[in-house]
Chain A
């Protein structure tokens, strides 16, 4: 299936998330909009704490108080899902949306055998017998590369290594063949070889089943070879979005450019790594105008007063003085 811009599988519009705190509400996500077409992988990168996981959590309806959606809409295959009753959302989750969380331990019950957790999840969502469910669980464990899966299926999570637990979580998310997968750092605990196996698996799901995937990761290499498009987040907003090759090769937002320059190379050894000096502002101290202005080498007075918007186009950056004219597709 090819990506069709006409009918996105997931559509997020102007999403705003606030945390109600003792000192009033804090805006953690501010006007986030993006689409993912069937069979498309959208990569999400950005500063730690920028709101990537929050975006994913909101889509799967697991935002917990004091956090709440304060504005915007989320549509799945044309159906609005951000205001669904909890019970309906629960059924949607797992069946139509599969989630791979950043922290494998929160998704796994420590006292249940890995196989039993998979079997229960499969039985909840698919009309199959227990024996069939166990067979599928075993197949999934093999597919995510667990060695000696026949033996390992009856082990407890603590007997697995960090990366093996992460693969079990991936298997859990794939159980019911969902049409949308939110994958939050699915490959960080994995070595390059297993990582290649997982990204190949994700790509195959997209190609063969038209699955749409939101892939959050800090690994630019993984993004470059897996994602079709990439969104870069900073301080609760998308600051640049576009086709992967364009964004990684010709970043137009200064933050994206700094990010690309910080990647260590495996081909040479540097004395010192490039870094973007300073830190991302806290939610209660986001500067007026462009949130990146205190760390930006191109900032002018205009940036400190006017918040740049994100144009709706193929490759776009939320910046008054982009590095290059973003190519319009």
Chain B
């Protein structure tokens, strides 16, 4: 019974918790094996012929492997441009991996059926993902009608209204167009649409970046509740490390297309081992320390077109030694966490 999943109104029956065969967190739902994504960003072939420029390949994601367990949240953190959205797009099938394999495992649903999980994405850019010519009500109703999640039109409308209220908008907003909403309101519309699909696996690319902290708290609390009640699985991308800490079971720190540290979130937060992870945690802006001069990370931001030799973090790493400029450190397990640093 996933009917009233996201309804907040008290007078409706409380939703029935899903009976998951194994306890949530035990079974793998997504398996990513050595995924790579490369883009050819060369100048057009003809002009290359004259200028003798070589082909330029941008390595957006390089050799990334991980698994996500059902009913948990796996977060990816890293610098802007390090490949998070590209990885997310590969997971939902919007981007074909150049190499490697991404596969979802079948799950057993509440009604006893077994099949592949339903996957849905909340996009980083809410503007681009909402059709400006559709009313908000139709935008949210589309997946409900498409997937035949409700039997009749009245039930569809009821569900749309409930979803709008769930994300802190009002039922009457259904008749308006996206341009009449503020940035954060649009982000909430795209969250409502993602919830409308009743997906089992949600890929959330910066889902709350446009929201004020109070609405953000409402949305995050809702996501946690849905996870507890229905065993939803999240792949979560955010630059806000406080939000990541609140949400994550597992955490991967990405740098220039690769994972440099990955493991249980609490462990990574309390005992960061990779120099980049430590720098990241050090650079967080803090309300408690106003007007602090935050030092931006020193060193040129490297480019995924011509990544540095050896450890890709070496130009910015205070601990870098000669070996770091020649030999790339492999990910290796250090007390439950995978780290790629020669000196960790």
Task: For residue B14, give the distance in angstroms from its CB to the closest CB of chain A.
Answer: 18
Q: A145-B301, A148-B303, A162-B85 are in contact. Are A225 and B286 (CB under 8 A)?
A: yes
Contact status B183-A102, CB under 8 Å: yes
Out of A48, A162, A245, A273, which one reaches B80, CB within 8 Å? A162
Residues of A within 8 A of B224 (CB): 272
Residue contact A193 to B206, C-beta cutoff 8 Å: no
Which residues on the A side are within 8 Å of B173 (C-beta)?
A: 282
Q: Does B213 lie within 8 Å of A263, measured CB to CB? A: yes
Could you mark each residue 193-215 of chain B with 1 if its beta carbon is under 8 Å from any beta carbon of chain A, else 0?
00000000000001001111111
Q: Which residues of B contact A162 (CB under 8 A)?
A: 80, 85, 124-125, 206
- A53 vs B180: C-alpha distance in the bound complex, in angstroms? 12
Is B80 touching A200 in the complex (CB atoms < 8 A)?
Answer: no
- C-alpha gap A103/B80 in the complex (Å): 16
* B25: Cβ under 8 A from any A Cβ: no
Contact with B along A162-194 (1 / 0, CB 8 A): 111001000000000000000011001111111
Q: Is the CB of B305 within 8 A of A151?
A: yes
If A224-B289, A225-B292 touch, whether A269 touches B297 (CB-CB below 8 Å) is no
A269-B246 in contact given A103-B125, A190-B80, A224-B291 (Cβ < 8 Å): yes
Q: B151 at the A/B interface (Cβ < 8 Å)?
A: no
CA distance A163 to B41 in the complex (A): 19
Contact A190 B287 (CB under 8 A): no
Cβ < 8 Å to A, chain B residues 150-199: 165, 168-170, 172-173, 180-185, 187-188
Tell me if B290 and A190 are in contact (CB < 8 A): no
Are B287 and A248 in contact, CB atoms less than 8 angstroms apart?
yes
Q: Give B205's nearest chain A residue, CB to CB.
A: A162
Find A194's partner among B79, B128, B184, B214 (CB 8 Å cutoff).
Answer: B79
Give the docked Cα–Cα distance between A102 and B187 (Å).
Answer: 12
- Whether B217 lies near A273 (C-beta < 8 A) is yes
Is B290 a contact of A192 with CB atoms below 8 Å?
no
CB of B243 closer than 8 Å to a CB of A: yes
Knowing A53-B183, A147-B81, A244-B291, the reply to whether A197 touches B239 (Cβ < 8 A) is no
The chain B residue with its CB closest to the CB of A28 is B182
The answer to whether A224 and B285 touch (CB under 8 A), given A102-B183, A218-B212, A264-B217, is: yes
For residue A195, CB closer than 8 A to chain B, the reply is yes
Please give, as numbers and ranges, the residues of chain B lying within 8 Å of A200 by CB-CB distance: 293-294, 296
Q: Determine, out of B66-74, B90-98, B276-284, B332-340, the stretch whose residues face the partner at the interface.
A: B276-284
Query: In the complex, A106 Cα to B127 Cα: how many Å?
Result: 9
Taken residue by residue from 34 to 62, chain A's Cβ proximity to chain B (1 for < 8 Å, 0 otherwise) reads as 00000000000111111011000000000
Q: Is B300 an interface residue (CB 8 A)?
A: yes
Q: Place the interface of chain B in its size category.
A: 35 or more
Contact A196 B290 (CB under 8 A): no
* Nearest residue, chain B, Cβ from A146: B301
Q: Are B294 and A196 in contact (CB under 8 A)?
A: yes
**A154 to chain B: which residues have CB within 8 Å?**
43
Task: Say if the beta carbon of A20 comes within 8 Å of chain B.
Answer: no
Q: Are B217 and A274 in contact (CB under 8 A)?
A: yes
- Does the CB pair A48–B284 fall under 8 Å? no
Contact A48 B242 (CB under 8 A): no
Residues of B within 8 A of A275 (CB): 214, 217-218, 221
Given A196-B283, A259-B212, do A151 and B56 touch, yes or no (CB 8 Å)?
A: yes
Return the contact of A219 from the options B281, B285, B305 (Cβ within 8 A): B285
Residue interface mask B112-127, A partner, CB < 8 A = 1: 0000000000001101
Nearest A residue to B290, CB-CB: A224
Q: Is the CB of A273 within 8 A of B220?
A: yes
* Complex contacts, B285 vs chain A, CB 8 Å: 192, 195-196, 199, 219, 221-222, 224-225
Please name all residues of chain B whose beta carbon is closer than 8 Å to the beta carbon of A193 when the two chains form the complex: 79, 279-280, 283, 296-297
Known: A49-B181, A194-B80, A279-B169. 6 other contacts (CB 8 A): A163-B81, A195-B239, A219-B285, A225-B292, A258-B214, A262-B217
Q: Give 29 pairs: A residue, B residue, CB < 8 Å, sorted on A.
A: A48-B188, A48-B211, A102-B210, A104-B125, A105-B125, A147-B300, A148-B303, A151-B41, A151-B303, A161-B81, A163-B81, A188-B206, A190-B80, A193-B296, A193-B297, A194-B80, A194-B296, A220-B287, A224-B287, A259-B213, A259-B214, A262-B216, A265-B242, A266-B245, A269-B245, A273-B217, A273-B220, A279-B165, A280-B168
B-to-A contact residues, CB < 8 Å: 39, 41, 43, 56, 77-81, 85, 124-125, 127-128, 165, 168-170, 172-173, 180-185, 187-188, 206, 209-218, 220-221, 224, 239-243, 245-246, 266, 269, 279-281, 283-297, 300-303, 305-306
Query: Across chains A and B, which 6 residue pairs bring their CB atoms closest together, nearest first?
Result: A48-B184, A163-B80, A221-B285, A148-B303, A275-B217, A273-B217
